[in-house]
Amino acid sequence: MSGILEGKRVLITGVLMESSIAFHTAKLAQEQGAEIILTAFPRPTLTERIAKKLPKPTKVIELDVTNDEHLGRLADVVGEELGGLDGVVHSIGFAPQDALGGNFLNTPFESVATAMHVSAYSLKSLTMACLPLMQNGGSVVGLTFDAQYAWPQYDWMGPAKAALEATSRYMARDLGKQNIRCNLVSAGPIGSMAAKSIPGFAELASVWDTRAPLEWDLKDPEPAGKGVVALLSDWFPKTTGEIVHVDGGLHAIGA
């Protein structure tokens, strides 16, 4: 029986650790039949080492989503490797330390601008860089952390994720005519490298211990990876502008 991504070609960003959602997305995508290519920044060698743990060898290319030169050559590099693309996974987020950890009211705009550029605007710029390779339509899937709420310690990453969610909806509006779907997976907290960069992450994650209807495991990124792979597949052919929660159901519980 073939996998749900059989014959698909997918670009995946954000594979930094074996514990990341992006790594498990890449692993599952390969297991489900996809050809993949990975991007990495600022340390492609780190991603190359992690990529060796995937079921099949895959190319890693350097990509800084704030660098116009990197974005400008992306289609050529990926096209040479895969010929085209059917899916793009945006698993990129960053905020300077002074934009996190309870410093919300004192964060300078320069740090806010960096968080917005890397974490939200890059969904648009990455997709547009890949657009020439998506002549037959496709699926863009990003990762968010529920921006409906103000989370402890999360500070300016919260507005950045809200901007990401709005960006995905506008992209769904404008790219639908090209049969490109744009959706997000809103995942619960995972003990990844990104999480470790958030001061007080344990306090934020502890909310899941008491409120999530389904038991949540900080060490298990696979459920979120499965959500991403499902949205990359043809099993959601008419779903776009959506946010699929893979968070143990916490988003549905008030207290």
Q: Which residues are catalytic?
A: 154, 161
Tokens of 215: 């038991």
Rounded CA-CA distance 33/113 in Å is 38
User: Do the Cβ atoms of 214 and 249 come closer than 8 Å?
Assistant: yes
From the list 9, 132, 137, 3, the residue with the least C-alpha distance to 82 is: 9
CA-to-CA separations, 102 to 97, 147, 174, 201, 202, in angstroms, rounded: 10, 17, 36, 11, 14
Angle between helix axes 122-130 and 68-82 (nearest 10 degrees) is 40
